[in-house]
Structure 1
Amino acid sequence: MIAGGAALISAGVNAAPNKADIHRSLALRESWQYLTRDVAWPAHWTPDGAAFSYRKTVEGGFAFETVDAWSLSRSPAFDQQRLAATLTQALGRPVAPLRLPFEAFDYAGDRQTIQFWLGDDGWRCTLTDYACERQQDPRRPRGFGVVRDLSVPADNHPRLSPDGKWEALVEDDNLIVRPAGSKEAVRLSTDGSSGNFYDPETIAWSPDSRRLIIYRVRPGYARQVLRVEAAPEGKGQPALRTQLYPKPGDAIDQEQPVLFDVAARRQIVVDPALFPNAYELSAPHWRADGKSVAFDYVRRGFGQARIVSVDAASGAAHAAVTEDAKTFIYADRRFSHDVKGLGREIVWASERDGWNHLYLIDGRTGKVKNRITSGQWVVRDVVKVDDEKRQIWFAASGVNAGEDPYFRHYYRIDFDGRNLTPLTPERADHTVSFSPDMQFYVDTYSRVDMPNVSELHRTSDGALVQTVAKGDISRLTAAGFRAPEVFTAKARDGKTDIWGLVVRPRDYDPAKRYPVIENIYAGPHDSFVPKSFWPFGYHSGGDKVIGMQALADLGFIVVQIDGMGTANRSKAFQDVAWKNLQDSGFPDRILWHKALAARDRAYDISRVGIYGASAGGQSTLNALLFHGDFYKAGVAMAGCYDNRMDKISWNEQWLGWPVDRSYADASGVDNAARLQGKLFMIVGEQDSNVDPASTMQVADALIKADKDFDLLVVPGGEHSVGRSTGPIDYVTRRMSEFFIRSLQ
């Protein structure tokens, strides 16, 4: 019997693990996750900056605690018993006080109201009467941000001018203004129509109330994905579900900024020469002096991004800053800051030298005034820009030589690039929360082999004020938990380090030979190998380490690797994925496997399996299509197997526009005949993230190619079908059984 209650069987024993062994293995998470104490989550400050709150592990679950930053006194953040009772009633399912279904919350306006997320839903609860309500977004939904759902009315409430004298709204697809509280409308536009309408949700008044800007919209193609729910809960007959779901190449909404002088009743259509073929225009924002208005632009195909500044009086536009890329600009990682809100200087993040760094841009000419950061490392996040002190606080990784290049550390630097000051010296992955007034910060840091430490520091000199919490995992270790092993090997270029984790069976015997299973997620939008401690869920990134351990205990060595084509390293490292999603870093991954096998004879690379979900599902299939000589079996869950079938946003970002040969090259449908090895595909019938038809089209192509495979369709299942939903999860059990049959 192995500590932790799992009597499991390792490789080298004649009897293979049976269903009871698998059930015990899957119960590890429930058995272990409540054995830690004082493992703290990142802090969230009160609006007044006088205190902060955080979640930590306690006997039986999790407690939320508030610490006064000045007196250092501690108290419960709220009454968890009362909040659990309210949520039990609101959600229609039991909620335990020490197992509230959220990891963090923010204060809304004051210390009497909190807000948090439960899945995709925002919630707000008052702490005076513990009343909770689900937050409804009044805005019209958009399919992946680029096509408006015209079946839902826009939020057309009157937008009041800053001086309180006027209100603006849309009537009959045209912009009108009227004196506040009056019904006497002044029509400012006459060129709006149902096919080219003014969108009230884009109205933006100038600070002096003299002008406003609004977008006129030509609607795109409203593609609908249809899904049949075969077994609706409590109903006998199937139901048809529809979803607005733009796909790569579809026509998207075209937005035209239009400027209005309210007093002069003058309309100026902004010349679109600086923002042609827009994939995205941000909401317009006025400069503090009201002399200009600006918006961000990303060209379709993601080869260019810029800030367009429009003169309020003339409507003339100029590029305040422009970023061009030979491959792609990572749109979701853009950062800009308008210094003092005047548009004369802009702090801008750019990868123009091959690493993500900060630059100070002259907003009138678009030219670089000076670099702010530099070096072979990446700025990960900008936390605060102080225009008066001309200082920036930011997170970066890769600065410290000899350290894991994915560890995040925090720094302060001046606008001129001088006085780079490190704030988080410990060799670990850090998350820092600054108080609103920047007098304090809470640094929460950990590694996969070191539980969370949370400390309160003074910002002025970085001095430690108090250790807030220090995780204790002694009971977890006694139960059999062992931290994953960190392993590095050289990439395909022979120079770059590839980082990964190794999870071995708890009764590992180096004299035996173990089949290997790789847990893959290779989406170019991030890195995925966990760097922080929490092994039980998605808090630490990537898949659950505990899930890898449960699989390992069935007689495998389970690994996770970040190959080339993923983010948070150099631009060249990530660019490997450009128009090349079938690569998935496999040349690097295979070299990593071989390097570990050369060091550890127990590591049997003649029997390598692979599993993943979503983009990881696509990579799993591609492993068997393009590297079937190495990977012998794969479980592909909820995969986006053909990028032409998937959502527009993610796929055009990495494969570009228009749709070209690169989409076909990465397609599991077009390459189905190349399948080698054993494939098990799993899909949720109601997947709203990846069109489940993508899975069925691969199945169709495999059948036509006379290829054998297994398929599981989960009725009513969503995109999360591959994640464990409890101590004994059907999908995970089926995956475990598949690998036992295929590799043992």
Structure 2
Amino acid sequence: MTVGHAGFDRFIEGLDDFVTGGAVLPAWSPDGKSLAFLEGTAEERTGRLVDLESGRGEPLVADVGALRAAVRAATGQTPAGKGIPFDHIGFTGPRQLAAVVGSSRVTVDLDSGEVTVPAAERPLDVHHGLPDSVRRTPKEFLRTMPLVDPMKAREVVSPQGDAFVSTVDGNVVLRSVADNRTAPLTSDGTPEHEYRFDQVDPQLTALGLAFPVCNWSPDGTRLAVYRVDNRGVHQAPQVHNLKREDEVVHRYHAKAGGPLERTTLHVLDVYGRAPVELDLGDTTDTYPVHAAWLPDGAHLVLFVLRRDCRRGEVLLADAATGSTRLLFAEESETFLRIHHDVYFGKKVGLALTPDGTRLLWLSERSGWKHLYLYDLEGNLVRQLTDGEWPVDYVQRVDDEHVYFTAHLDQKRPYDVHLARAPLGGGSVEQLSEQPGVHAAMFAPNGEALIDTFSTAAEAPRSVLRRADGSLICELSTADTSKLEWMPPQQFTATAADGETELWGVLFFPADFDETKRYPLIEYVYGGPQIAVAPHAFNGTFAKSAQALAQLGYVTFIVDGRGTPERSKAFHDVVYQDWNGALVSDHAAVVRQLKERHSFLSEAKVGVIGHSWGGYSAFRLAAERPDVYTAAVSSAPGFDPYSSVLYECYLGFPQTDVDAYRKAELYPLASRLSAEFLLACGTIDHATWTDSIKMSEALIRAGKDHEFVVLPGQMHGFDAVHDSYFWRKVADFFGTHL
């Protein structure tokens, strides 16, 4: 592989073009006895059918050529490639699959090999929404969320599959599968005082890739919704310049210390009874969340987080009357929950046992995140996990155990393992052994699970396990024969306190030669809500770092103190001190890497970051010109006063004046001596103003800098503008490093 722009272009989208297999997307049979999955590219795709009890596997299709001929005869279409002609499959019976070929839906009988196509639907019927396939397919709608632009989403189906819900102009709308007609469930919603409901792709939830949310009651008669009052909340202007005439749109964007949207919780009745507001009193300056429906469909568990994130309450609500009672509350001297988790994901750290009589609660009260079991009277039954390691999150609960992911091995603290703990009390059982990051996908009946694991340098591998962790069989190992690279390397370094071990990952050019000298680039984030060093294969943040390395650099990513997934004390370093250990820890890591590696000893050092990473990149360059020669900040969140997202960590500007002043970046403009490139999309209402203010501060300080304007781009860039941005980055670092 040639290092340079060609190598960069090949890696910027990740390693998917070079690696196949390893990660399994299962189709579980409805009788609970088997799973099927596909592997490989369209040119050579194969499939396996695996017995869940014995682990015996067989080809999904005995004669691929015969299947392709049957598909061609049934659909009139010649599938691409030479392998199984499906991208995805699902079971419609114990031995029958459903799939799509081109524009045709097909079913395949695994015993006879027969391929059938449903009767053609009349175009006029489709136009009027009459066929079953139209009525049962979720439609797109625009979903509103806090701070960000409206996003495309799909209707959410009821538990019985007889209705879908969406929102239109601030109101909740019900669409009947019976006749495809819609009826409003609310009529008093407006864009500024609107209804919303939780939403996660049900397919991802079923696969264990997303967390279930609380919307429909189990019996499908009620819907849990939010009423969001945006009146008085700051509106950030978003100027669209690319049409004949400019258009100005305003987006609600609560500022630190300013008015916060007021959210109330409601239950809607699909049979037309009046909406019920759940009694939470004054919800000003709180984040209330529907956490779970009880199995009886008559009660809900609620979670209310105070705006400063230091107190959380768990309540039980009557869906018919709206009455509530407090089960328990927890307070913390610092933030109790990660703000992003609650604000965007409704990921509150709360789960129900299947019988609905007990609650599992995640708490860091001991200094490490662990699981606690409560009854519905609010009494602590027992602590389920303990030790100097943190639970990651609950994956499944059955009648006897809670299954979860956790950082169990503190010798490798960013490895994620599968584990379970008995609800009745007892020792934690670790279900996975191999080093790396493990993820679980459970069979619908919970009796088996797919364990997929990888490291930064080792591609995914999937195995099938029983619920007790015992191995049933191997499923898939990634094929990396097309991957020509120098694998990344995990490393450790000592934080600026001289004691704490930090973990990171180094990336290299494909033709790396340790006898040569390389410039060093840090890809930084530094925000308090996520750890970003990629300890699994082909992680989100790994892609940019790996691609940059192909331009002839050594790159690295490290998580310093003030980030999650370690102890509470490790995370709390950011509390009321946004800089905290950011500059000192990251500069210390650069120094140690240069001392440790001769190929870096004389290296110039660059730094690049996006969003809060843009903040970090600028701060590192401004405060440590002895370390960093050049910096790039894209879509940068420079201003701590600009967003409510800072409050859980810094407090409020009115009461925590010093914390906000220490976090300000504009005063550092006069100290910048590194070369600097700033990039932002013109409709990124969250950070465009920050970028303009920083450019002005640099101009007034007499500091040259590059400002890359990306017209019509939001916080993320589309393919054309992203390519342009990275060309600018490549040229910038090529010139200055």
Give the alignment's TM-score, normalised by structure 1: 0.75
Q: Is the 2:684–2:715 contact (alpha carbons within 8 Å) kept by the matching residues of 1?
A: yes
For residues 388 and 99 of structure 2, the distance between their equivalents in structure 1, rounded to whole angstroms, comes to 41
> Structure 1 vs Structure 2: percent identity of aligned residues?
26
- C-alpha distance after superposition, 1:106-161 (max 9, x if no partner): 9999997789xxxxxxxx9965679899954668634349999999140154999x
Q: 1:452 aligns with which of 460, 474, 477?
A: 460
- Per the TM alignment, residue 392 of structure 1 is displaced from its structure 2 partner at its CA by 0.9
> Structure 1: how far apart are the matches of 2:427 and 2:519?
51
1:676-687 to structure 2, matched below 5 A, reads: 676-687=673-684
SS of equivalent residue, structure 2 residue 598: coil
Q: Which residue of 2 aligns with 1:86?
A: none
Please state whether the residue corresponding to 2:545 is helix, strand or coil.
helix
Provide, for residues 552-603 of structure 1, a one-character-per-residue CA deviation record: whole Å limited to 9, x for no partner: 3444221111111111111111122223333463322222222222222321
Q: Is the contact between residue 363 and residue 370 of structure 2 (CA under 8 Å) also seen in structure 1?
A: yes
- 1:353 is aligned, of 363, 366, 369, to 366
Tell me the alpha carbon deviations over residues 459-491 of structure 1, each in whole angstroms, 9 at most, x when there is no partner: 24x333322111232342xx3x11112210122
**Kindly tell me: are residues 74 and 513 of structure 1, through their superposed partners in 2, closer, same or farther at Cα, counting changes over 3 Å?**
same
Partner of 1:418: 426
Give the superposition deviation at 1:609.
0.9
Give secondary structure in 1 for the equivalent of 2:474: strand
Q: 1:191 maps to which residue?
A: none
Residue 254 of structure 1 and its aligned partner are, at CA, apart by 2.6
1:625/1:108 CA distance change after superposition, 3 Å: farther
Distance in 2 (alpha carbons) for counterparts of 1:716 and 1:245: 19
Inter-partner Cα distance in structure 2 for 1:24 and 1:673: 37
1:221-256 per-residue CA deviation (whole Å, 9 max, x = no partner) reads 354433333335xxx555445434333334234345
8 Å CA contact retained: 1:158, 1:169 = no
Q: CA–CA distance in 1 between the matches of 2:454 and 2:727?
A: 31
Paired with 1:527 and 1:248, the residues of 2 have a C-alpha distance of 23
Deviation digits for residues 485-522 of structure 1 (CA, Å, limit 9, x no counterpart): 22101223333211111223344444443321111122
Residue in 1 aligned with 2:60?
Answer: 75
| Alignment-derived partner of residue 129 in structure 2 | none
Select 1:667's aligned residue among 660, 664, 668: 664
Q: Which residue of 1 aligns with 2:712?
A: 716
2: distance between equivalents of 1:309 and 1:496? 42
Asked if the contact 1:301–1:658 (Cα under 8 Å) also holds between the matched residues in 2, the reply is no
Paired position in structure 2 for 1:154: 171
Question: Does 2:549 correspond to 1:552?
Answer: yes
Amino acid in the other structure paired with 1:445: F
**Residue 306 of structure 1 pairs with residue 313 of structure 2:** yes
Contact kept in structure 1, 2:457 and 2:487, CA below 8 Å: yes
CA distance in 2, matches of 1:135, 1:550: 37
- Residue 720 of structure 1 and its aligned partner are, at CA, apart by 2.5
Does the 8 Å CA contact 2:486/2:509 hold for their aligned counterparts? no
Corresponding residue of 1:322:
329
**Distance in 2 separating the partners of 1:82 and 1:635:** 55
Which residue is 2:405 aligned to?
395
Aligned pairs for 1:359-438 within 5 A = 359-364=372-377, 366-386=378-398, 388-389=399-400, 391-397=401-407, 399-402=408-411, 404-438=412-446
Separation in structure 2 between the aligned mates of residue 125 and residue 330 of structure 1, nearest angstrom: 45
Distance in 1, Cα, partners of 2:70 & 2:696: 52
CA contact (8 A) 2:531 2:559 kept: yes
Amino acid in the other structure paired with 2:172: D
Structure 2 residue matching 1:155: 3-state secondary structure: strand
The one-letter amino acid paired with 1:450 is E
Query: Which deviations, in whole Å up to 9, do the C-alpha atoms of 1:349-395 show, x marking residues without a partner?
Result: 1111111110012331x342211001111111211111x32x11111
Structure 1 residues 147 and 341: CA distance shift in structure 2, 3 A? farther
Partner of 1:736: 730
Please give the per-residue CA displacement for 1:677-711, whole angstroms capped at 9, x wherever unaligned: 111111122336x3322211111111122221111
The structure-2 alpha-carbon separation of the partners of 1:463 and 1:362, relative to structure 1 and needing over 3 Å to count, comes to: closer
Hey, what does 1:92 align to over in structure 2?
none
- Match in the other structure for 2:688: 692
Residue 22 of structure 2 corresponds to 39
Alignment correspondent of 1:334? 348
Q: Hey, what does 1:187 align to over in structure 2?
A: none
Whether contact under 8 Å (2:230, 2:252) holds in the other structure is no
Structure 1, unpaired ranges of 5+: 9-20, 84-94, 116-123, 161-166, 174-193, 535-539
Q: Secondary structure at the match of 1:451?
A: coil
Residues 288-307 of structure 1: pairs in structure 2 closer than 5 A = 288=295, 292-307=299-314
Task: Give me the whole-angstrom Cα distance separating, in 2, the residues matched to 1:308 and 1:293.
Answer: 8
The residue type paired with residue 154 of structure 1 is N
d(CA) in 2 for partners of 1:141 and 1:609? 38
Query: Which residue in the other structure is 2:290 paired with?
Result: 283
Number of residue pairs the alignment of both structures matches: 652
Q: Once the 2 structures are TM-superposed, how far is the Cα of residue 40 of structure 1 from its aligned partner?
A: 2.7
C-alpha contact 2:276 2:320 (8 A) present in aligned 1: no
CA distance in 1, matches of 2:311, 2:88: 36
Equivalence for 2:565: 568
Q: Which residue of 2 aligns with 1:22?
A: 5
For 2:586, which of 583, 589, 601 is the aligned residue?
A: 589
Q: Quick one: distance in 2 between partners of 1:213 and 1:471?
A: 42
Q: Which amino acid aligns with 1:395?
A: T
Contact 1:204 1:213 in 2 (8 A): yes
TM-score (norm 2): 0.75
Range that drifts further, 374-383 or 308-317: 308-317
**SS at 1:424 equivalent:** coil
Within a 5 Å distance, the mapping from 1:83-122 to structure 2 comes to none
1:735 aligned counterpart, secondary structure: helix
User: What amino acid does structure 2 have at the position aligned with 1:433?
Assistant: M
Shift in Å, 1:212: 10
Deviates more, 1:487-496 or 1:311-320: 311-320
Residue aligning to 2:698: 702
Cα 1:257–1:422 change in 2 (3 A) is closer
Cα distance, 1:208–1:443 mapped onto 2, change above 3 Å? closer
SS at match of 1:720: coil
| Distance of 1:98 and 1:733 partners within structure 2 | 37
CA offsets per residue over residues 36-64 of structure 1, 9 Å max, x none? 3433346464665444455644486x958
Compared with structure 1, are the counterparts of its residues 445 and 199 closer, same or farther at alpha carbon in structure 2 (3 Å cutoff)?
A: closer
The CA distance in 1 between the partners of 2:288 and 2:496, in whole Å, is 38
